[in-house]
Chain A
Amino acid sequence: MNEILSLKNIAFTYVPDQPEVKNAVEDVSFAVNEGEWIAIVGHNGSGKSTLARIINGLLFPQQGSVSVLGQPMNEENLWDIRSQMGMVFQNPDNQFVGATVQDDVAFALENNGVPYEEMVERVHEALAQVKMTDFLDNEPQHLSGGQKQRVAIAGALALRPRILILDEATSMLDPQGRAEVLATVMKLREETGLTVLSITHDLEEAMLADRLLFMNGGRKFAEGTPQQIFDLGDELVKLGLDLPFPIKMAKLLQQQGVALEGGYMTEEELVNDIWISNFKK
């Protein structure tokens, strides 16, 4: 598999002149393969958003290096690399630049000097991918949060990036909006093989990922499949991360003496196992 992104021994502090302040990110290394969905989880202040900004070159680490598509990132290739990475932020309102949906999707294309005819084509293509074609001329105040985030995804997709970074993109949405956005991302991955990096503290979202990166106090605490990470169980709870509902439920049932195997990633798996567990006896 192709390595699309790699971080080596990243250390970063917001206050370089105050060495007594703990680094926001300390000695983090990981690699992302093409087409993978990686979720970075951790509670507030764990350095996960800082990490996203380092990956995108919004912040430069004091130590270590970031490579995208095999090229180490520096001041010269920064803009080229950025055009390979789309990023969606937390607040749906604060990343809407254009006056209407189509203007907003075109914004990144305008910045990169794409000719008009191609722009029109790409805007329509990107909006079709997130199913927002019907809202072409809508103004942001007439859209729901989920719709705005889908427009933001389209705005990122218009540049045909290799990586999509979601920086807590669903945290300000209602459950319906969150489901809309996640469904859109899943569908995109199926269709285009996009690499997704989502920074989140929503564990349901994290469980959709192929691999989880668990950040704590600026360090990488654990890395593995969702199954492996959630098997850590109590250790996660101690570090302030809640367990996903099916895992928590299974645990509580086990404590009550119900014979369950555990390790359920979805509610359905749990339910199925509960109602056939009696047959197993």
Chain B
Amino acid sequence: MGKMIFGRFLPGDSVVHKMDPRAKLLFVFIFIVAVFLANNAWSYAVLLAFTFLVMTISKIKLRYLINGLKPIMILLVFTLFIHIFFTKGGAVLVDWKFIEIHEEGLRQGIFISIRFLVLVFMTSILTLTTSPIAITDGMEMLLNPLKKVKLPVHELALMMSIALRFIPTLMDETDKIMKAQMARGSDMTSGPIKERIKAVVPLLVPLFVSAFKRAEDLATAMEVRGYRGGEGRTRYRQLKWNLRDTLALVVLVLVIGLLVFLRN
């Protein structure tokens, strides 16, 4: 679990790190849709090349990505084999005992794997180069127009940022409670699964109780500091849209043009 990098933030100073979170979110969102445009070898090659280009610019090492995404890689290899063995169609490439590999199966397997790979890499690059709070800010700004249809955008963003802010606090607390329960003789790390699940209950109950207490305290503290909803609030964290953000999106549009041109 410790090595898993999906959703983790890796501070740095690359161009990608410095981009406006709104631009990055839009970029990834459009990219995800664009991935489904590819339908032949050339277009998949373009996708793959583009993803590696973005990775290089963001100064994230390929090895780091692959290592950190190991569980997802296993899934990827699994889908690859499923396709190779079970998709029929086209010329038969291998016919050995009960194994029968068709051309179409190999093709599909490789394409789907590449599609999966670029999606996971691109979203990982987004979260690795953007702090969670910046992502929240970006989301809030991008979703702002939805306020017109009564979506509580500000409240959702605030909830998100408070949740992020309290993750380490609650982690510490969990650790403390765990030690306290262990000191009382509770064993959480060994024994059959059923016992271990049972041992979690005396951990969760105090954690929930204290989380509610914290929530109440925080609500009071926020009220005292004049919080009364999103109306009339100003923002301290400002987002700045630079030339590089526009350029990144322009490049993406060009890549999409290329994909449309290459696909059958």
Contacts and interface: CB of A to CB of B under 8 A. Distances in A.
Interface string B66-107: 000000000000000000000000000000000000000000
Given A91-B217, A110-B235, A113-B232, A82 B226 contact: yes
B133 A89 contact: no
A96 B161 CA distance: 12
Contact of B169 (A111, A116, A123, A140): A140
A94 B225 contact: no
Contacts of A79: 226, 228
Contacts of A110: 233-236
Contacts of B223: 58
A83 B233 CA distance: 14
Interface string A98-139: 110011001111111111100110010000000000000001
Given A82-B226, A93-B214, A141-B172, A106 B236 contact: yes
B218 A111 contact: no
Contacts of B164: 99
Nearest to A120: B236
A225 interface: no
Contact of A94 (B133, B218, B237): B218
B242 interface: no
Contacts of B133: 99, 103
A23 interface: no
B227 interface: yes
A98 B165 contact: yes
Contacts of A141: 168-169, 172
Contacts of A139: 168
Contacts of A115: 234
Nearest to B133: A99
Contacts of A85: 224
A95 B221 contact: yes
A249 interface: no
Interface string B183-227: 000000000000000000000000000000110011011111111
B236 A94 contact: no
A189 B227 CA distance: 26
A165 B224 CA distance: 11
A97 interface: yes
Interface in A78-94: 79, 82-83, 85, 87, 89, 91, 93-94
A153 to B, nearest CB: 12
A56 B218 CA distance: 15
A82 B221 CA distance: 12
A155 interface: yes
B238 interface: yes
B221 A116 contact: no
Contacts of B236: 102-103, 106-107, 109-110, 116, 119-120, 123
Given A89-B217, A99-B161, A141-B172, A116 B228 contact: no
A159 interface: yes
Contacts of B227: 107, 111
A141 B169 CA distance: 7
Contacts of B237: 103
Contact of A111 (B162, B172, B213, B228): B228
B234 A87 contact: no
Given A82-B224, A141-B168, A141-B172, A94 B217 contact: yes
A97 B162 contact: yes
Contact of B234 (A56, A82, A119): A119
A252 to B, nearest CB: 38
Nearest to A97: B222
Interface in B115-131: none
A112 B229 CA distance: 11
Contact of A113 (B169, B225, B234): B234
Nearest to B224: A87
Contact of B217 (A95, A111, A123): A95
Nearest to B229: A111
B214 A89 contact: no
A56 B168 contact: no
Most A CB within 10 A of own CB, among B162, B224, B227: B224
Contacts of B172: 141
Given A91-B214, A103-B237, A115-B234, 5 more contacts: A79-B228, A87-B221, A97-B221, A116-B236, A119-B236
7 contacts: A79-B228, A89-B217, A93-B169, A103-B237, A113-B232, A119-B236, A120-B236
